[in-house]
Amino acid sequence: MKEFSVSTKIFLGEGSLEHLRSVKGKSVLIVTDDFIYKSGTAKKVADYLTDCRVSYFKDVVSDPPTEIISAGIKSLLKADADVMIAVGGGSSLDTAKVIRNMAEHICPQKVHIKECFAVPTTSGTGSEVTEFAVITDRKSHTKIPLHDVSLRPITAILDPSLVVSAPPSVTANTGMDVLTHAIESYVSVGANDFTDALAEKAFAMTVKYLPLAFQDGSNLFAREKMHNASCMAGLAFNSAGLGLNHGIAHALGATLHLPHGKANAILLPYTIEYNANLPACGNGIHSAAAQRYRKLAKIIGLPSETVMMGVQHLQSMVANLNRVLKIPADLKSAGTPLTETLKNEIAETALKDTTTASNPRVPTKQDIIDILNQCCE
């Protein structure tokens, strides 16, 4: 049995911030980071509110640690807020989701959040519609993926005007995160007809519009397509799950502080090769994952007369997209060489990561070390 459900209301397109005008006379806590606050973006969002008392929690950092969650809960209680608005990238959205969730559990009598908006300023995590959030335990250098339906934001606002100022490197990394979400959810053991539709569309849109958004950040049409693709891929993996690529990327991010999207991008050609497992083809029948990769290749018009051809062209397309986006092809070029001890640690952490559980091929520790070795060459 599989489940697909959508509960987040989604407002999309240029001008969708206008929806916030319906928030009147409330006490609002805006959760964001220092950069978004200083850039005036958080204030720009607040300006749409009507006669509201607005407080800011602007201490979000990337890979948000548990200490930041505690500080955010204190801010929420101090503000006595009945509306929360998360403004920023995946870290701000995840932080706001966890603050709300934990505060409601720890002190339900003091928390009375009625509305919770997620306003992404990057097109990447899809966090605005998912019931997942990732926080970091700094002591154990571990990323903790949290999963609970109560983490889903009530409303998502996808206004592409908020993304145009994202620098090219951020556009590249977050965009490759979208591509990884689409591909992993498509071959995941949890994939279903509903998630396939979303993943296929998000995949095709990302291949087409990510290079355009990277080359010209002010291309509002490409930005809007990427913003929507990010959200659609989020809806897909929220139901289907992800895979080993994310399991390893989480471990790499926690250990080496490699940006999440960049880690995914570097790993992706290798995890496609691993999951497709072309050499194991018996009697001309390839793995289900290989057949699905071929289908993705076909969708974007890559040569795919045979399964092998489709998989190999998909791999090459990802590697080529990385080159176009100026993402390094390996971990050494990314400035993160790995020792044998680190590879061992990363492999052990990736095996335990919840996203690895829905990978189409069950990996061993040695399989992960082999993938890391490939990424280091």
In the complex, the residues that contact Fe ion under the rule CB under 5 A are 177
Nearest to Fe ion by Cβ — which residue?
A: 177
CB of 246 to Fe ion, least distance (A): 6
**Under a CB-based contact definition with an 8 Å cutoff, are residues 251 and 350 in contact?**
yes
Q: What are phi and psi of 83, to 5 degrees?
A: -135, 135
CB of 336 to Fe ion, least distance (A): 18
CB of 125 to Fe ion, least distance (A): 6
Query: Which one, 63 or 177, has the nearer CB to Fe ion?
Result: 177
Q: What is the CA radius of gyration of the chain?
A: 20
- Torsion sign over Cα 7, 13, 14, 18: negative
- Return d(Cα 150, Cα 101) in angstroms, integer: 7
CB of 273 to Fe ion, least distance (A): 20
Query: Which one, 177 or 353, has the nearer CB to Fe ion?
Result: 177
CB of 321 to Fe ion, least distance (A): 16
CB of 368 to Fe ion, least distance (A): 18
CB of 228 to Fe ion, least distance (A): 17
**Under a CB-based contact definition with an 8 Å cutoff, are residues 164 and 185 in contact?**
no
Number of alpha carbons in the 13 Å side-chain half-sphere of residue 146: 22
Query: Which one, 268 or 369, has the nearer CB to Fe ion?
Result: 268
Number of alpha carbons in the 13 Å side-chain half-sphere of residue 130: 29
Query: Which one, 131 or 177, has the nearer CB to Fe ion?
Result: 177
CB of 309 to Fe ion, least distance (A): 28
CA-based diameter of the chain, in Å?
69
Q: Which residues pair with 221 in a beta bridge?
A: none
Number of alpha carbons in the 13 Å side-chain half-sphere of residue 23: 27
- Return d(Cα 260, Cα 251) in angstroms, integer: 10
Helix/strand/coil for 337: coil
Cβ atoms within 10 Å of 247's Cβ, excluding its own: 30
Query: Which one, 29 or 133, has the nearer CB to Fe ion?
Result: 133
Measured in whole angstroms, the distance separating CA 72 from the mean position of its chain's CA atoms is: 22
Give the tokens for residue 229. Answer: 């693709």
Query: Which one, 30 or 272, has the nearer CB to Fe ion?
Result: 272
Query: Which one, 30 or 236, has the nearer CB to Fe ion?
Result: 236
Query: Which one, 307 or 371, has the nearer CB to Fe ion?
Result: 371
**Under a CB-based contact definition with an 8 Å cutoff, are residues 223 and 163 in contact?**
yes
Q: What are phi and psi of 188, to 5 degrees?
A: -65, 155
Q: Where are the alpha helices (DSSP H) in 300-339?
A: 307-324
Query: Which one, 73 or 205, has the nearer CB to Fe ion?
Result: 205
Strand blocks (E) in 247-324: none
CB of 205 to Fe ion, least distance (A): 17
